[in-house]
Amino acid sequence: MRKLEEIRDSYNAASELCQKRVVVCAGTGCIANGSMKVFEALRNAVALKGLEITVSLKSDDTSEHKHHDVYMVGSGCQGFCQVGPLVTIEPVNIMYGHVKPEDAEEIVEKSIVNNEVIERLLYHDPVTGEAYKGIGEIPFYTKQHRTGLKYCGIIDPENISEFIAHGGYFAARDAYQNYSAEELCKLFMDSGLRGRGGGGFSTGLKWDFARKEDNDKKYVVCNGDEGDPGAFMDRSILEGNPHSVIEGMMIAAKAIGADEGYVYVRMEYPLACARIRKAIEVAQSYGVLGNDVFGTGKSFNIQVMEGAGAFVCGEETALLASIEGKRGMPNPKPPFPAQKGLFGKPTVINNVETLALVPVVLQQGVQTFRKLGTDKSPGTKTFALTGHVVNTGLIEVPFGTTIREIVFEIGGGVLDKDGNINNDAFKAVQIGGPSGGCLTKEHLDFPLDFDSLGSIGAMVGSGGMVVMNNSTCMVETARYFMTFTQHESCGKCVPCREGTRQMLEMLEDIVSGEATEETIELLKEAGEAVKLTSLCGLGKSAPNPVLSTLRYFPEEYQAHVKAKYCPTKTCKALSAISIDSDMCRGCTLCKRVCPVGAISGEVKKAHAIDPNLCIKCGACVSTCKFKAIS
């Protein structure tokens, strides 16, 4: 293979001959919003202007390098999903949001040719109206510390030369040529890097367990089975920087003595699957992967396995069973996969984000890596920020960052039920997905790390973070997550299979007004039993959303059970529909659509609803033009 330095220098030489670099976000979210149409429109507009354009810089032969006016790149997710499709122009550092194909000619004429800024396409602060020119100014980015996501949204994920030009595969070469397996394991134990998939187990210690196993065959498995509702951290890395994951797997392979690896990705991620497959293929063609890695005589090859979308396959033993062609169901531990894993051989399983951070640790060194985060949770963590928040998207912050900083600063504040920014409307954050828990106002200044969250009944999990305002019913939220986990239970163990079903039935009784105070006590008991006795980590964490809402919002459960009333009027069975006599114009539309004749009143006079007849179907609410019915 060619030396990494040659590839890097050749690419940089070609890059310097391009006057402008245009990066269009080609992550799943922006693609869904039409970013590829924007890409084509920009390319056509550049061509019509008579400018030289390239969409793929070659680094194979420096003699072929020539001047280009514009180098266009389709990147991975840039994180700021709220304002996509995103277009960034370098080196003038301009970022445009909500770009449409019809904006292409203006962008080329003003920004690419004349270096002018189109203010209407810039990001504007929703409160002050202030415009921000680029990533270096926008608060959403400036308050983050992007480490694992550093090159996601910047480099072309399908161009290995660009990855190498940014330092890619140098850490893997260093690991293969200059470190023993034992030295690597010790280095990562000293770094404090913990698994970003949920459990937070020491990465170096897990590797060391597998290293010590005496076996001629070992495996490295990348867990990309990301199934939490609203979570897309792993998907974005696989789409935006797949080579970083490959490099992390290579370092792990050297640390344990493995010669084969698998990337397990759910088939609902077609773009991630395509990009990681292409990255593996190109890495093999460049001699990075194969039978003589960096001239050391050691081999390492990777295959991609698509999962069928079962949530339980995110659990490591169920994932291994799926790769083996069996039904994805967890197995008791011990033995742990590091002892007896894939096909009965020692196996290390790390999730996508963890593997993407592995080369970073080796490049930075232990001391530099540990400067961020907390003592027991060093480094950074990515979160998918969604819900009632101004700025939704993918963020990365050091461990120890508070919810207040994430929601009110990076997230831009909380949206109330009318869509206005109102931080007083903050109610809770569901962190860790369906396996996590709800945190409240009293936790706004709580540092987010593995141990701190565990002490209050929550968990980092894969990194889903859903912000909820005061119009959210916490009982319904618990029911929603329990519906998901009960549906996704593999059914192997009784506590999870039957316990989650019984918990869901009790929650449904509560939101429908059929529960008693005894139901709440039984719900707590069932939750504790499922948590204590389930076979795998997914079953043990399934009750978390219920138990945390019972703990922090007991008054809402009591209102549903005792008063038969939903304080947020979310639960239809417990929300009486009424007509505001001051706003009613007596148009009779509601009376005409009511299927049970519960509405009475004369023309041009205020109407009324008989609560004994009303079935709460909502037909009158959606029909009223004057918003008099609620």
Contact 235, 272 (CB under 8 A): yes
What average pLDDT does the chain have? 91
Contact 597, 563 (CB under 8 A): no
The two structure tokens encoding residue 618: 């909502």
The two structure tokens encoding residue 381: 């963590």
pLDDT average, residue stretch 281-304: 94
State phi, psi for 572 to the nearest 5 degrees.
Answer: -60, -40
Residue with tokens 């449409």: 100
342 pLDDT exceeds 60?
yes
Tell me the domains of the chain and their CATH numbers: 4-137 (3.40.30.10), 161-369 (3.40.50.11540), 380-472 (3.10.20.600), 475-561 (1.20.1440.230), 576-630 (3.30.70.20)
241 pLDDT exceeds 90?
yes
Of 439 and 426, more confident: 426
The two structure tokens encoding residue 355: 């593997």
For 84-130, what is each residue's pLDDT tens digit?
899 999 999 999 999 999 999 999 999 999 999 999 999 999 888 99
For 527-565, what is each residue's pLDDT tens digit?
999 999 999 988 898 999 999 999 999 999 999 998 888
Tell me, what's the pLDDT at 63? 41
Residue 57 pLDDT level (bands cut at 50, 70, 90): low
Residue 59 pLDDT level (bands cut at 50, 70, 90): low
Count CB-CB contacts under 10 A for residue 486. Answer: 21
Count CB-CB contacts under 10 A for residue 373. Answer: 24
Tell me, what's the pLDDT at 62? 43
Query: For residue 332, is the peptide bond before it cis, meaning its omega torsion is within 30 degrees of 0?
Result: no
558-563 contacts, C-beta under 8 A, 24 or more apart: 558/517, 558/520, 560/475, 560/510, 560/511, 560/513, 560/515, 561/510, 561/515, 561/516, 561/517, 561/519, 561/520, 562/517
Alpha helices (H) along 194-269: 203-211, 233-240, 242-256
Q: What is the pTM of this model?
A: 0.90
For 510-529, what is each residue's pLDDT tens digit?
999 899 999 999 999 999 99
Reduced to 3 states (helix: H, G, I; strand: E, B; else coil), residue 129 is: coil
| DSSP letters for 507-532 | HHHHHTT---HHHHHHHHHHHHHHHH
433 pLDDT exceeds 90?
no
**How far separated are the first and last CA of the chain, in Å rounded?**
70
Count CB-CB contacts under 10 A for residue 308. Answer: 11
Tell me how far apart the alpha carbons of residues 77 and 30 are, in angstroms, rounded to a whole number. Answer: 8
Q: Exposure of 255 by Cβ count < 10 A (0-12 exposed, 13-18 middle, 19+ buried)?
A: buried
- The alpha carbon of 169 is separated from its chain's Cα centroid by a whole number of angstroms, namely 25
The angle, 0 to 180 degrees and rounded to 10, between the axes of the packed helices 242-256 and 270-285 is: 60
Among 253, 248, 243, residue whose Cα is nearest residue 275: 243
Tell me how far apart the alpha carbons of residues 162 and 575 are, in angstroms, rounded to a whole number. Answer: 57
pLDDT average, residue stretch 130-134: 93
The two structure tokens encoding residue 397: 């912050």
Residue 34 pLDDT level (bands cut at 50, 70, 90): very high
The two structure tokens encoding residue 273: 């699957």
Tell me how far apart the alpha carbons of residues 261 and 323 are, in angstroms, rounded to a whole number. Answer: 11
- The alpha carbon of 541 is separated from its chain's Cα centroid by a whole number of angstroms, namely 19
Among 169, 180, 207, residue whose Cα is nearest residue 363: 169
**68 sits in which H/E element:** strand 68-75
State phi, psi for 136 to the nearest 5 degrees.
Answer: -70, -10
Tell me, what's the pLDDT at 459? 77
Tell me, what's the pLDDT at 66? 63
Q: Longest C-alpha distance within the chain, in Å?
A: 90
Among 218, 172, 156, residue whose Cα is nearest residue 1: 172
Share of the chain above pLDDT 90, in %: 75
> Taking phi first (over 0 means left), then psi (-120 to 50 degrees means alpha), and beta for anything else, what does residue 122 get?
beta
Strands 87-90 and 18-25, sheet pairing:
antiparallel
**∠ at Cα 156 (79, 165), nearest 5°?**
115
Tell me how far apart the alpha carbons of residues 513 and 227 are, in angstroms, rounded to a whole number. Answer: 31
The two structure tokens encoding residue 31: 């693609």
